[in-house]
Chains A and B, each alone.
Chain A
Amino acid sequence: MKSLIAAAGLILVANAAALLHVAANRAGTPEAVVTLTEEQLSPVTIHESGVDLTVRWQLSKPWVSKADLEQLGFDCSVSPGTSDARVHYRRQPSRRGFVALENTPGNPELTLIAAAPTADILREKHPDPNRVLILPAILTIQGYESQLTAVVSDLPLQIHVPRPFSTQLQAHANAPYRLHLAFGQNHEPWVTGVDFPTTR
């Protein structure tokens, strides 16, 4: 009977932990609040399980310096472009860090502008929470071309749109829309609203 209680308890604890994580993310003032247009989001994918959107983003070149990469924990001692560089940088595992994405009005994609090991460093440099998103990311160093850079992956920019917003998007298929997003204490997003401007 003990193991049955343990199995049931495990389900309850895991669910409670996930929901507490969500509550902690959404507690207090959001870390960032942005409004994105349909141009900055992938086309609405309506499937059986609801609506999912992906935020479009791009790199600004060069977007990260050697000092930034060293601060992230990469070993940048080998000069890029040399014969040893390919193996030296390829063998370095990815690092967890944070990146800043700028939402410039009129720009169809958010622009990657900086990286740092903590969110606080980036928020200090880019204090506008309505213009710059600070997000966790995986950074992989690349150094076999003429300069050092980092490839960014695993940005939490896939947004699940819950009801009632998903039904509004489905009802206004192909119409221009604006999606209001909040990013919480854990930098995880949620949809706070959708509107459909008649004129732009």
Chain B
Amino acid sequence: MADRAEAQRKADRIRGLREELSAPDIAEVLQLTDIQRERFDCWANTSLHSLEQQFDVDISAVQGSMSWGMRIASALCGVAFSASLVLFFQHYWGNLDILPQVLFVSAAPLALLFATEFAAKRERTLYFAGLLSLIALAAFVLNLSVLGQIFNIAPSERAFLAWGLFALILAYRYRQRIQLTIAIILLLTWACSALTAAMGHHWLDLGNRPENACLLGVAVWSVPFAIRHRQNPSFDMVYRVLGMLAFFIAITGLSEGEMVSYLPFDTNVTQAIYEILGIAAAAASIWQGVRRQWATQANLGAAFFCFLLVSRFYHWWWASMPAWLFFAIMGLFGAGVVVALKYMRRQA
């Protein structure tokens, strides 16, 4: 068995099977003898116990709910401790000379990194390792920000690369989806800024070139095709969702706002092109999501499909028809989407 997620799926299957076998209708069909039932219970208990010992999986519904609570609490703890670290340093660093300031901020992320490793070695569920890894990342962000402030260094996009790579390493080492999410956002910010700066503009004007974000979004979405996450199967979904969000938010900006585009056309033509491209891409992602059973992709695609289409309808008709008729058409359109999705669901 590769990882805890796979072990959890196996435990869930065993629990489900045990519940089904105890249902009266199934019991009537199978007619298990007492010996057979005892052997099954013995096997189920041994398997679940073994999985619990080996991977610390949830072997009951109550444990599952509590695990979610622990995940949320550990994320909130990470945020709270990170804020505490930053505020603690801000409170005292005015009393320190430059050398102790530099030593403290440089040593803090290293110390927290090793603390994360220490916690990971002692805990299979990685709740505390995840929490400490978030604080280590916050300490690294504080580290470079403080160095910039102490020495009046001009802000640059390169810091996002360092923070993004650090978060990416932590995400893969400690199997943390939240770290992966942060890493992808930081690396996308860096890549957009670096491209903007390379074109001679200010790196913070990254939002003025949404086409860069579109291409980078597609690149992020494609990562699971190039890298197989056997150890962390849930990482695929993170890449797909963040890639889609980057792509569709940028497309929405291009189709709705007066953004600067690489296309050599008037604003109206550029907006129409990107609206059509956005609608087509959203339809394609719904189709692929349904086909491959990627529910999150299908839902996200449906949300952007509706948004972009409603926005197109608004541009076409809002000024030229009564409001009641416009909303009636919207209602019909919504019903049409439900019918189409129902059909695709049946086909899947």
> Which residues of A does B touch, CB under 8 Å?
3-4, 6-8, 10-12, 14-15, 18-19, 21-22, 25, 47-51, 73, 87, 90-96, 136, 138, 154, 156, 158-160, 162-163, 166, 186-190
Contact = CB atoms under 8 A, between A and B. Distances in A.
| Residue with the greatest number of chain A CB neighbours at <10 A, chosen from B94, B162, B165 | B94
B148 interface: yes
Interface residues of B, number: 48
Given A25-B153, A162-B98, A190-B151, 9 more contacts: A22-B147, A22-B153, A49-B93, A50-B94, A73-B200, A154-B204, A159-B152, A162-B97, A162-B150
A8 B113 contact: yes
Contact of A93 (B109, B154, B260): B260
Contacts, number: 116
Nearest to B161: A14
B96 interface: yes
A18 B144 contact: yes
Among all A-B residue pairs, the 8 with the closest Cβ atoms? A50-B94, A138-B202, A14-B162, A93-B201, A7-B169, A22-B151, A18-B147, A3-B173
A188 B148 CA distance: 11
Interface string B122-161: 0000000000000000001001100111111110000100
Given A8-B110, A50-B94, A93-B209, A15 B151 contact: no
B205 interface: yes
B147 A94 contact: no
Given A7-B173, A96-B201, A136-B154, A160 B149 contact: yes
B170 A7 contact: yes
B153 A188 contact: yes
B288 interface: no
Interface of B: 89-94, 96-98, 102, 106, 109-110, 113-114, 117, 140, 143-144, 147-154, 159, 162, 165-166, 169-170, 172-173, 196-197, 199-202, 204-205, 208-209, 258, 260, 267
Contacts of A90: 258
Given A11-B113, A48-B91, A49-B94, A94 B201 contact: yes
A73 B267 CA distance: 22
Contacts of B200: 73, 95-96
Contacts of A91: 258, 260
Contacts of B89: 49
